[in-house]
Structure 1
Amino acid sequence: MGENEMNWFWKKNDQENEIIIDEMSPMQAVTHLCACIQLSDGDADYEERVAWVNAISTLFPDYSQDRAEIFLNEAHSYINHISKDEILIYTEKLLFRIKAVLSDDQLNQLGPKLAKLIEADGIVMTSEIELANLIEKILSISITIDPNL
């Protein structure tokens, strides 16, 4: 493992769990990104969960719901144990993984799906806008958020 490569560790139920971004599947990376957005305002609600399912089912039509749920739970467990600054670093690393593993078509579909996720709870927080700007910059996609929210 390279010196500059970052690994993510946290304790849960007396077991050490490891998240290695460079080994994430496309669906796992997108799910972790969605979890970063969901939890950026401190809470993931039902509407955001529905928006995540919609994004995953569109991008990965043959996805396993059970596997996706495992990834979402894994992401929430990890993100709930790191600071806001660490979330931004984690998100940036996820975005580089997503850029490497998603097709251009999937990347183009991702922007509108993330916009719906950000808007899902009816209010757009500054933290969500910060993440949207980072996503647009790294993935070279557009996330158009309703200015009336």
Structure 2
Amino acid sequence: MSTTASTISISEFYNNADLGPANMGQTITNQLKNYFIQNSSLKVVAEEGELMLEGEITGFSLTPIAPVSTGNPEDINSASSTRLTITVKATYINTLDDKMSFKDKNFSFYKDFPNEINVADVEEQYTRQIFERIINDIFNASVANW
């Protein structure tokens, strides 16, 4: 499948998650633009691209995982690790072939880390790493099948 599209517009992704770094929306938007520039022949334009991508960050959660038993049935078991999960909802519009478009598709990825690490110390780094995976998935869902 090939396309004649030469431009893509990527709207600012908004952060609608309750938690997480305040600049997440800007971070994923910039990473998305850079990814499309580096991995396709598309020109990123401010608006009215032949291809359009928009979305929002809908989830940022920290969940305890990997329970550790204290060996004492009276004690509360704790978790040795925490999972940071980010969810992004994206809409992709292909003005040249509507069958290729998708609306409000969820993309999610996570990173696990030991509880000894303070999440504030690694939050920005891990957020960027998770975004790399999500961006790759968005790219594959939108234009990789050319």
Normalised TM-score (structure 2): 0.27
Q: Which of the pair is proportionally richer in strand?
A: 2
Answer with 1 or 2: which has the greater Rg: 2
Q: Which of the pair is proportionally richer in helix?
A: 1
